[in-house]
Structures are given as C-alpha cells and as structure tokens.
Chains A and B, each alone.
Chain A
Amino acid sequence: MWDQILTGFGYWDVYAWISFFLIAGGMVFLIRSLGRKDYKQGSDQDEIFFGSNPVPEDGEDLKVPASSAYWGYTQALKPFYDVLVGFHTGIATDYAGWYILVTALVALLILL
C-alpha cells in the first residue's frame, strides 16, 4: 500500500510529494509570521487600493467576468476557434451526419 508506483519508465511516490507540500506550507507560514505585527484591522490599512478611486460597494462593478478570461489566448487562436465553433452547429441532423461519416470512413479503412 505504501510502495511506489512503477510505470516501467519511472516511478511515482505520493508521500514524497506530500512531504514537499508540507515543507513548502511550513515555509509559507514561516514567512508570514515574519510580517509586521502592528497591523490594525478595520483601519485604512484594510482598504483595497483601487487606482486611487473609491472602491465600488457592489462587487459586480469590480469583478472580472469569465468572458474576459484568456482573452489573449482566444484572440491569438481566433482562426482555429472560428473553425471549431463553426463545426459545432447544434443541428441534430449534423450530429447524425458526423456519426454516419465516421462509420463510413472507418468502414472504408478496415474493409478495403
């Protein structure tokens, strides 16, 4: 139960990793404990820095929406995504069509 997993090419030892995380976690807490102790909760030290503007009351005005995530990635790969999204038509007959097409293609490969 406690042995390593051998893959035939290397091995995996979960406990080495857990030890690593425990040590790394300990170091994080150590660094945190070196912080200033005179921090005052509820004072201006608590305030969010929002580009020197007043912080909006509703988080809705602050949050980054999911549609903004990986904007650069999707823009860079726009031609690829145009094809990919276009391929997902949502039309039921297309679903059946792709299935028939793959069946025909595999049949050609195996029967000929």
Chain B
Amino acid sequence: MSWQVHLPALLLAVPLLGAFLAPLTALGGKGLRNTWFVLVSAAFTVIAFLLWTRVGSTGTAIYVMGGQGWNLALPSGMSIPVRILMEVDAFSAFMVLLSAVAALAGALFSIAFMDRFSGLEKFVALYFLMVTGMFGMEITGDFFNFFVFLEISSVASFGLVAFWRDRGEALEAAFKYMLVSTLGALMVLVAVAFLYSKYNVVNMATLGKVIEWGMVEKTALVLFLTALAMKCGAVPMHMWMPDAYAEAPAGVTCALIAVSQASLYGLFRVTYTIFGAFMGSPVIPWVIIVLGVLSMFIGVSMAVIQKEVGRLIAYHSVSQVGYMLLGFGVGLLALSDARAMAEYGFTALKGGIYHIVNYTMYKGLLFLSAGALYYATGCRNLNDMGGLGRKMPKTMVLFMIAAAAIAGLPPFNGFVSKLYLYESTFAVHPILAVFAMVTSVLTLASFVKIFQTAFLGPALKKFENVREVPGTMLIGMSVLGVAILALSLFPTWSVNHLVEPAAKALVDQASYVGAVFAASLTGGGL
C-alpha cells in the first residue's frame, strides 16, 4: 500500500497543522515564521499536485476519517454513520491543484508585502485555516462537512479581510461579507437539513443515487443554488465582493479568489452530481445562464467606471464569474440531451472549466500587481498614479501578461476559454455570445485604463523614490505569470490534461456515485 493513499487526509492536515503552529513559530522570530509560511504552503502545493496526478492515473480517491478504516466508505450494513468522507475525482483534484497554486502565490507575495505590519502570526494562522476550509470544500464527499468547511474558510476570511483594522473601510467590508456569508451558510445548512430529513443521509454519492425531484429536493436545490452563487459573486448578490476583495491584503485576495471558486465547485457538484440529468426542469440551467449574463455585463460595466485599482479588478471578478456560470449553465441545459451535449454542451462545460483555471491564475496576478502598486506608492486611486512603468518594469510586464490574458487577447490563455464559450453559447442563442463578446471588449477597455494611467504617462515627482517591489513579491507574482504563459503556449496540453478530465468527471454522475459504493464493497478507494 502506497503512502499516497493518505494524500486526501494530508491535504487537510498539513495546512491545519500550519495554522495551529503558526503562533508558536512566531516565538522564534520573523525568519522562522516566514520559513514556516513558505514551507507549509509549498508542502500543500506538492500534496495537491501528487493528489492530482494520482487521481489522474488511478481514478477517484476515497478516504474516510472517523470510521472503522480509511478505505471503508459505507460499513455497518450500508447505513451511513457519522464520519468525514472525502471523495476526490478528477474535477475535485483539478480544483485543489488550482487553489493550491493560488494560495502558494499569495503566501509568497505576503511575506514582504505584510512585513511592515504586526500580528502576522495571526495572519499566517488565519491564512492556513482559510486554505484548509477551501480544500475541505473541494474534496469532501458529504454535505454536512461541506457546510463545516465552508464556515471554516468563511470565518478565517472575515478575519483576513478585516486584518488592517485601523482602516474603517476594511472593518466595514468584513462586516458586510460576514453578514451575507453567514446568511448564505445558514441557507446551505437548511438545505442539508431538508435532504437529511427525507433521506437520512448527507453523503453526496448516496444522495446522487437516490435523489428524486420533489418539493423537498427543489427547495434544497434553490437554497444551495442561491447561497453558493452569492458566495462566488453572482449579480445581484455580488456587492460584498468589491468591498472585501479591495480591502483585504493583496496576498489574501489572491487566495480568496480560489475560495470563491470552491463555492462555485460546490454549486456545480450539487447541480451536476447530485441532481444532474434527473433535474426535471430547464429552469435551473436557465437561472444559472441568466445569473451568468447579468454578472458578466453588470460586473464589467461597473469596472469601467472605477477609479480605485482594487475595486476595478474586483468588479472584474464578478464579470469573470459570469463567464463560468454561463458555460456551466449551458452545459447543464444540455446534460439530459445526448445530442445537445455532443453538439455544444460539453464544449461550453470545457470553456467554463478552462475559464476557472485561467481566472484563478490571471485574476490572482492582477490582484498581486495591484498590491505591488499599493506597496510601492501607498496609493489605491488611479487618479494619483502615473509613470510607474519606469520605476516598476517587472511589475508592469507581469501586469501586462495578466491584463492581456483576462481581456482574451490572442495568443493568451483567456482567448481559448472564451472561444469555447462564444461558440458553444452561440448554439443556444446568439445573444449569449454577443453579451460575452461585449463584456470582453469592455474588459480590455478597463485594463487599458489601468495600464495607461498607472504605468504609462510622464514621470511624477512624488514617485521619484519609488522602487521595484522586493524579490519575494515578484516571485509570488511570477508563479502565476509563468502559469499563464504555460497555459497560453500549451493550450492542447492544458485541455487534454487539466480541462477534459475534469469536465468528464463532472458529467459522469454514475462514476462519482459508484466510487463510494465500490469502496464500501471492496474496502479500497485508491
């Protein structure tokens, strides 16, 4: 038996240990704390990579905590005792890998970025707690644990958004985020309770096997849908997002993007894996499509008129989430029709999943670039900036890469995922593709605005002493910059190894359900 069977448990244990020991490492001074921050981040990234490769080669991984054995999914005569069951299929492994890369980049960037502030042992502890919650959401195989991990990541995020507590805006943003997030989490819990009251289980695979299409299930689905759509920033429930993303320290925002993607993951796990083709109505797919179109267009329209870098980029997060919702919504619409799935549904789904990869990488880099500008100049407002390209050429190049990618300029990776989305959504209705393209044009316009006003233009006297940001911040940004270039230069590899396995796993409900039942019979999940 290979030690790698324990990778799902290690993925949660390592950042959790990192969080609990962070205050102790601070006793050894700044150097030890920073080393711990980097080591733990590197460790969970390696674990995420190993898990992704293992799932790719051996199939869905099952891991049970709190049961009779790590590989016994459904013991005791097929009843479902209380336990933490983790199920990692290709879609989960894909999400975990992306989240880990974003969290690593955020950690590397934060070392120098946060150096001038106190209380960093709390920062590191909260950061790792947030990462633990995020990974937990992505690999858990049961709904109650999903709720618990959602709460862990949310509560840690509230603390991190309010970390600069001398700023009233940061406290206000954290409060608003806490209010809507707690309301959403409560609805998730009520949805879980609805399903538990009828089926006496919270296990996702079991629910996927027995679920019907009645009033209880519909109510639970609505509660899940709106709560998770709100957590990932869908319009008109997006308003917490620009506040929180703009006020959180830049490294945290980079990881928060991955946290919001974990909610998106939850949304699609519910709609595709639990309900899937049994959903007897096109209403839910169309609701997701409409939320996607609204998010794309309203998000980007608000971004164009922003003057603060962080808020501008945050509104783009809303807009980019819209692309993903659109792709997944079209995929869901075609799920029960094999012909539609073959013609455009699977392409839309691939576009949505590819956009998750791209979004996590370039949006993370954009927030880190905005953080670099703030670190070097102390300014958040674009009106106060100018001519910084001369002083910060490396930051400028990295920003250009991310901006070109998010705007979907060929040959960058953003273009490929948008191409999938344009062509597949056009098959459903041309207006969807028109909205997607107009959004892309406005995206380009707003990033040209940042580039022109922050980096170009005449040199300003007040920035005479501005220098390029420290090396560790550049390394953090470069991790994402290199990932964007790799995704751009090798799109076929990205599609074949990252996107398609995840898309196939998402639509293959039988395989996800079957993995748990096979593990219960054979006693082996890996």
Contacts and interface: CB of A to CB of B under 8 A. Distances in A.
Do the two chains bind? yes
Interface of A: 1-5, 7-10, 12, 14, 17-18, 21, 57-60, 62-67, 69-70, 73-74, 80-81, 84-85, 87-88, 90, 92, 94-96, 98-103, 106-107, 109-111
Contact of B453 (A66, A84, A109): A66
Interface string B169-194: 00000011001100110010000000
Interface residues of B, number: 70
Main secondary structure of the interface of B (DSSP, over half): helix
Interface of B: 175-176, 179-180, 183-184, 187, 215, 218-219, 221-223, 225-227, 229-230, 236-237, 239-240, 243, 281, 283-284, 287, 298, 301-302, 304-305, 307, 343-344, 347, 381-383, 385-387, 410-411, 415-416, 419-420, 423-424, 426-427, 445, 449-450, 452-453, 457-462, 488-493, 495
Contacts of A3: 492
B304 A70 contact: yes
B183 A99 contact: yes
Contact of A14 (B343, B386, B411): B411
B457 A63 contact: yes
A59 B458 contact: yes
B222 to A, nearest CB: 5
Given A8-B344, A70-B304, A100-B183, 13 more contacts: A5-B492, A7-B423, A8-B343, A9-B426, A12-B491, A58-B460, A59-B387, A59-B458, A60-B386, A66-B385, A81-B301, A99-B226, A110-B287
Contact of B219 (A2, A12, A111): A111
B434 to A, nearest CB: 16
A62 B227 CA distance: 48
A17 B344 CA distance: 25
Nearest to B354: A5
B441 to A, nearest CB: 11
Contacts of B419: 5, 7, 10, 12
A96 B179 contact: yes
Contact of B221 (A21, A80, A100, A110): A110
Contact of A59 (B237, B411, B457, B490): B457
